[in-house]
Amino acid sequence: MKKHNMLCRLLCTLLVLAVLTAAAGVPAYADGAVLTIGTDVMAAPGETVDIPIIVSGMSDLAVIQFALTYDPEILEYLDYTVGDLISGQNELLDNPTTGEYYFVWINDTVLQADAGTVTTLHFRVKDTGAVSLDVDEGEEFVFASIVGGSTYNYYNPTIEYGRVVVPDFTLPSALTRIDSQAFTGTEASAVYIPENVTSISTDAFDNSVLLVYKEDSAAAAAAQGLNNPCVVIP
């Protein structure tokens, strides 16, 4: 299976290069494009999570190619759903290997829309922690439009990452304050803070613990000024 995936990936990359090489002219590079890899979400082991891959500010797209890596100890790839942006168009996806996902889409006509979902990846959560799908911005990272069959434009999108956070434990919903050293030394990597928490001591957690809380909640206000990394979820 691994050899098959490597061969498919090589053939896909060569096909992309052939398409771009066939388009004569000097390539142009466009700014203002954005590639969004999911949003911040919280999940528990055994649950499934959906990670949409969204583009915006990219007009006349004809070639999309990218590779994503993720922690296979936390996420297990299940399947994908074709997004609204390329639904009904030509599509070509390589089978993922453990910890990596490779995507290629080449169309004979350019897309009319300049924003939408390319694909949504479905994963099963295996363990606690925090993970994002990281983009490899090497030679396999291609977002290109072909204009008039003679000029191709490369997009160099800003990449926005979301994270899948799987807390080691969730504090009781009735909790309203977290006192000094309440949870230091627990070896937790991520903890969900209930919405009703109004006070958190600056040394309540080890500084490496990722705190998860809902936006616009009392907990979000109480967490301001802490030294811990944080993830804010809707």
CATH number of the domain bearing residue 71? 2.60.40.680
DSSP 152-197: EEEE--EEEE--EEE-SEE--TT--EE-TTSSTTS--SEEEPPTT-
Residue predicted with more confidence, 40 or 87: 40
Residues 175 and 211 in one domain: yes
**pLDDT of 26:** 44
Q: Are residues 161 and 201 in the same domain?
A: no
Q: What is the pLDDT of residues 41-97, one digit of tens each?
A: 999 999 999 999 999 998 888 888 899 999 999 999 999 998 988 876 655 565 577
Percent of the chain with pLDDT over 70: 81
- From 165, 182, 199, the end of a domain falls on 165
For residue 14, pLDDT over 80 is answered with no
Instruction: Identify whether residues 143 and 176 lie together within a single domain.
Output: no
Identify the domain containing residue 225 by its residue range: 167-233
User: For the segment 139-182, what is each residue's pLDDT rounded down to a tens digit?
Assistant: 778 888 876 655 677 888 999 999 999 999 889 999 999 999 99
Q: What is the pTM of this model?
A: 0.83
Average pLDDT over every residue of 21-42:
72
